[in-house]
């Protein structure tokens, strides 16, 4: 595996230039060092195609500052360029050797505005991790005091409290309502539990008073 660029005082013989502003902004670059000056040359697409494996995060980091290097641009002018290493972008060749990934500010001043094009075959490794089977969600059990089609518990409780304050009685058995023995129908009528159960034997799921269909909420 290639040495991390963060520990290098010189540029490697080849690296991948990362251009954040481009969608496919990875360019293979070859370097030459003469008398303290670096010359950077994009890999020529007319040569044998290079296949590189690239693992790139959705949002690459800003990069780690490495230092400044004197680089001769395409017009022969010497420039001092700040280099950053992007160790979160993994690029390896066919022999699994890592190729460093770097970026530089205003790369166009080195290569020219229109001279950098994708110049290698990029292969993104497919994930081989097994996809876990979806776990079926279990339905939460309904509270015993709430029946399908009935009133919400807090509404039934308000009707029950109001009936108790008014000293109301069950219209069937003429007894005052008490907790644990009261049924509240969706229509708002209250009955003693024993009375509603008896009424349902002849007319299931209907209010004995107004005949509106519905299931009771027991309190």
Which CATH number belongs to the domain containing residue 207 in this structure?
Answer: 3.30.40.10
Q: CB-based contacts of 31: which residues, under 8 Å, 6+ apart?
A: 11, 12, 13, 14, 15, 38, 39, 40, 41
> Cα separation of 99 and 25, whole Å?
15
Nearest to 69 by CA among 87, 84, 89, 86: 84
Whether residue 142 is contained in a domain is answered as no
114 lies in the same domain as 162: no
102 lies in the same domain as 191: no
Domain boundary among 102, 123, 144: 123
Q: What would the pLDDT profile of 59-90 be if each residue is shown by its tens digit?
A: 888 888 888 888 888 888 888 888 889 989 99
Domain of residue 172 covers 153-218
pLDDT class for 2, splitting at 50, 70, 90? very low
Residue 145 has pLDDT above 50, yes or no: no
65 lies in the same domain as 117: yes
Compute the average pLDDT of residues 177-197: 89
Whether residue 173 is contained in a domain is answered as yes
Quick one: what percent of the chain has pLDDT higher than 70? 81
The overall pTM is greater than 0.75: no
112 lies in the same domain as 158: no
Nearest to 203 by CA among 191, 146, 179: 191
Quick one: what percent of the chain has pLDDT higher than 90? 6
How many structural domains is the chain composed of? 2
């Amino acid at each position: 595996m290639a040495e991390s660029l963060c520990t290098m005082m010189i540029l490697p013989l080849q690296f991948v230039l990362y251009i954040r502003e481009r969608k496919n902004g990875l360019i293979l670059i070859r370097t030459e060092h003469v008398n303290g000056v670096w010359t950077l040359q994009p890999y020529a697409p007319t040569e044998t195609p290079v296949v590189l494996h690239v693992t790139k995060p959705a949002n690459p980091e800003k990069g780690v500052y490495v230092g400044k290097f004197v680089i001769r641009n395409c017009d022969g002018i010497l420039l001092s360029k700040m280099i950053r290493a992007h160790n979160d972008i993994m690029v390896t060749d066919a022999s699994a050797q890592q190729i460093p990934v770097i970026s530089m500010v205003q790369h166009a001043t080195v290569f020219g505005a229109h001279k950098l094009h994708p110049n290698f075959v990029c292969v993104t490794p497919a994930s081989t991790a097994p996809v876990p089977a979806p776990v079926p969600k279990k339905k939460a059990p309904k509270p015993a005091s709430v029946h399908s089609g009935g009133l919400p518990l807090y509404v039934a409780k308000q009707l029950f409290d109001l009936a108790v304050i008014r000293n109301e009685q069950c219209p069937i058995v003429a007894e005052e309502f008490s907790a644990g023995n009261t049924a509240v129908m969706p229509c708002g009528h209250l009955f003693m539990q024993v009375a509603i159960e008896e009424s349902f034997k002849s007319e299931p799921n209907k209010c004995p008073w107004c005949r509106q269909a519905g299931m009771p909420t027991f309190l």
